[in-house]
Structure 1
């Protein structure tokens, strides 16, 4: 498969033209959702770890 550099540059420029810097409210929502996701995964991991420790 030959890598077409010119096509890649055109596609990258198109993506960069569409993207925008998030507004403060949008950023806060994304940060909150991310933090909640991390907390949920941590709680699940802690729960599983505690269950296995108690079963020992």
Structure 2
């Protein structure tokens, strides 16, 4: 069982490669856009709930 795990780990490390700068920047942009979208949705929900439920 341990030998099988080590064999699979070795295979993954051989197939994996370090991303180049363009690929890294694309992933960073998509991640940033996703975080911003989730934040805006949360802000809109907060605004709507503050108007609907008076404090």
TM-score above 0.5, yes or no: yes
Candidates 18, 22, 25, aligned match of 1:21: 18
Q: How many residues align?
A: 53
> Which digits, 9 at most, give the CA deviation of each residue in 1:14-33, with x for residues without a partner?
01111111000110000000
Could you list the structure 1 runs, at least 4 aligned residues long, displaced by more than 2 angstroms after superposition: none
Q: Whole-Å Cα distance in 2 between the matches of residues 24 and 39 of structure 1?
A: 22
Candidates 36, 44, 48, aligned match of 1:47: 44
Task: Indicate the RMSD between aligned Cα atoms, in angstroms.
Answer: 0.6
Which sections of structure 1, spanning at least 5 residues, go unmatched? none
Which sections of structure 2, spanning at least 5 residues, go unmatched? none
| TM norm structure 1 | 0.89
| TM norm structure 2 | 0.91
Aligned pairs for 1:2-41 (under 5 A) are 4-41=1-38
